[in-house]
């Protein structure tokens, strides 16, 4: 395949603009094709009022945000979810004999009346169909394990798969419970060793019901992923992990640490190890997913940086770049909406549970959604110098999508030279506006011939969609600095 090169000229500063001395040579096309399932979200059935979807506003938000998949009924709640009677309390052990004994017809009627407006499976499938997104549906394994009713649990899973298949031909992704091995002392999850042993039984039964079904597995401990691949990899199509970004300590965010990072070291090791284990145990078919990811809670801790819309969007963009560079197949941000008693974590939602407003992160997602099925053009990282970049060629080779994250507290001046005529350039700048607020600017970038000029504000994200004109040529993309 012909090489593609881009020239980024980092100029001496204009008035008030700090100099950027970079010399980056991009390599040939890497061969990585951007997955069309990277921009997704978790939809929590017990936090969604089905009536709020009737006016079409939330469907519009999904479309405008570029959402490509929805994971349902969410993470830990799947371990207590009854798809045939989704009116139990969200974390109730529904197969606990003492609970079942009290579940009289009268009690069931009261529960149904109380939670009748929850987002049910049928409505979820309809939303996916209307939005054009891929459904990812959970299988409750925990109740069968905890109460020694494995065969019944498998039969219920098979019934679910057959039902989904009858409703829509798009239902093919099923995740087997959630975070096996988490909270062992509370007995709220399946132990990892037991989970791995159960995977073949569930997988074979589900695939017999739907041969095209794709099985997704997940454990809480990265140290046990090798055993899962070794012992059950043949029965899994996608292994997915959960990645909530933090630094220094889980749940805390330090802006200065993030500025200095080239990439997340721990996650980079996971990507590498996953591919090594696939090779070692002869499971080349396995794909990698991240079905829960986001900036972590970013708690109000002395010395740490409190989370807000701006930092969430920047970290999300950084994480998405890492996902694409490492050929991640599927990802679902957590959460679409989570109703909390406080406003402190509302910024992590895509849709605000109180106001219905969409997060500024919508612009991050819609920008990356445009890269679907495109080819990554370079692999060099510039983030060690404070400027992260990803460049993707569209499937039809008629546009180039360029992503930047300016991690520095200084504005950067960038010139981009493309060796093919430029028809137009649309830009999006995602930056802070004081007090944790975010401002999104759209417009046309300054173009002169095949040269594009861009000013990157401090601590910002930028997306350029470059429409090319003329016949298909080799697009020369080089990065250099002017001294």
Q: What is the CATH number of the domain that holds 200?
A: 3.20.20.80
More confident residue, 421 or 465: 465
Residue 24 and residue 480: Cα distance in Å, rounded?
A: 6
User: How many domains is the chain built from?
Assistant: 2
- Last residue of some domain: 326, 355, 372? 372
- Last residue of some domain: 337, 372, 407? 372
Lowest mean pLDDT among 176-180, 415-419, 423-427: 415-419
- 448 pLDDT higher than 90: no
Query: 139 in helix, strand or coil?
Result: strand
Check residue 388 and give its pLDDT: 87
Average pLDDT for 200-226: 97
DSSP state of 13: P
More confident residue, 408 or 447: 408
* 269 and 182 within one domain: yes
- pLDDT tens sequence across 191-208: 999 999 999 999 999 999
* 382 and 252 within one domain: no
* 381 and 368 within one domain: no
Give domain status of residue 1, yes or no. Answer: no
- 14 pLDDT higher than 60: no
- 58 pLDDT higher than 60: yes
* 261 and 187 within one domain: yes
Report the mean per-residue pLDDT for the chain.
88
Residue 22's CATH number? 2.60.40.1180
Q: Do the beta carbons of residue 1 and residue 28 sit within 8 Å?
A: yes
* 380 and 366 within one domain: no
Non-local CB neighbours of 144 within 8 Å, separated by 6+ positions: 95, 150, 152, 153, 154, 156
**pTM for the whole structure:** 0.91
- The C-alpha angle with vertex 111 and arms to 107 and 116, in degrees rounded to 5, equals 145
* 227 and 96 within one domain: yes
Q: Report the 10 Å Cβ neighbour count for 331.
A: 27
Check residue 66 and give its pLDDT: 98
Q: Do the beta carbons of residue 40 and residue 68 sit within 8 Å?
A: yes
* 348 and 204 within one domain: yes
- pLDDT tens sequence across 230-244: 999 999 999 999 999
Lowest mean pLDDT among 295-309, 340-354, 395-409: 340-354
* 137 and 89 within one domain: yes
Residue 194 and residue 190: Cα distance in Å, rounded?
A: 7
Give domain status of residue 2, yes or no. Answer: no
* 422 and 344 within one domain: no
| pLDDT tier for residue 4 given thresholds of 50, 70 and 90 | very low
Give domain status of residue 287, yes or no. Answer: yes
Domain extent at residue 28: 7-32+376-481
* 331 and 271 within one domain: yes
* 404 and 319 within one domain: no
- Last residue of some domain: 338, 372, 406? 372
């Amino acid at each position: 395949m012909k090489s593609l090169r881009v020239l980024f000229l980092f100029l001496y500063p204009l008035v008030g603009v700090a100099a950027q001395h970079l010399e980056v040579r991009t390599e040939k096309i890497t061969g990585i094709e951007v997955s069309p399932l990277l921009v997704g979200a978790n939809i929590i059935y017990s936090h969604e009022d089905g009536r709020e979807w009737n006016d079409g506003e939330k469907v519009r938000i999904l479309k405008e945000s570029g959402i490509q998949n929805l994971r349902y009924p969410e993470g830990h709640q799947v371990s207590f979810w009854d798809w045939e009677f989704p009116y139990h309390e969200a974390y109730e052990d529904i197969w606990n004999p003492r609970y079942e004994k009290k579940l009289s017809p009268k009690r069931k009627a009261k529960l149904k009346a109380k939670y009748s407006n929850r987002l049910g499976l049928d409505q979820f499938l309809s939303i996916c169909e209307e939005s054009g997104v891929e459904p990812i549906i959970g299988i409750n394994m925990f109740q069968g394990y905890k109460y020694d009713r494995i065969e019944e649990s498998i039969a219920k899973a098979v019934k679910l798969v057959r039902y989904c298949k009858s409703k829509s031909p798009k239902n093919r992704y099923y995740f087997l419970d959630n975070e096996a091995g988490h909270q062992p002392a509370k007995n709220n999850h399946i132990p990892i060793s037991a989970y791995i042993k159960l995977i073949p039984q569930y997988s074979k039964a589900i695939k017999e019901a739907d041969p095209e079904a794709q099985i997704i597995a997940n454990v809480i401990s990265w140290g046990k992923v090798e055993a899962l691949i070794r012992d059950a990899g043949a029965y899994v199509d996608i292994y997915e992990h959960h990645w909530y970004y933090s630094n220094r300590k889980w749940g805390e965010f330090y802006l200065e640490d993030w500025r200095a990072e080239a990439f997340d070291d721990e996650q980079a090791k996971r990507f590498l190890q996953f591919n090594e284990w696939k090779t070692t145990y002869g499971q080349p078919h396995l794909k990698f997913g991240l079905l829960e990811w986001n900036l972590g809670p970013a708690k109000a801790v002395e010395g740490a940086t409190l989370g807000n819309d701006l930092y969430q969007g920047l970290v999300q963009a950084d994480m998405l770049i890492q996902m694409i560079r490492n050929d991640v197949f599927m990802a679902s941000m957590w959460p679409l909406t989570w109703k909390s008693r406080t406003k402190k974590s509302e910024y992590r939602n895509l849709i605000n549970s109180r106001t219905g407003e969409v997060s500024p992160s919508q612009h991050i997602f819609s920008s990356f959604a445009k890269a679907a099925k495109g080819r990554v053009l370079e692999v060099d990282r510039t983030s060690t110098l404070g400027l992260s970049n990803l460049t993707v060629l569209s499937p039809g080779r008629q546009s180039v999508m360029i992503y930047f994250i300016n991690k520095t507290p200084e504005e950067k001046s960038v010139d981009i030279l493309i060796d093919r005529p430029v028809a137009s350039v649309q830009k999006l700048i995602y930056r802070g506006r004081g007090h944790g607020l975010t401002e999104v600017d759209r417009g046309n970038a300054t173009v002169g011939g095949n040269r594009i000029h861009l000013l990157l504000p401090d601590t910002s994200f930028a997306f350029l969609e470059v429409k090319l004109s003329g016949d298909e040529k080799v697009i020369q993309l080089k990065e250099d600095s002017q001294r």
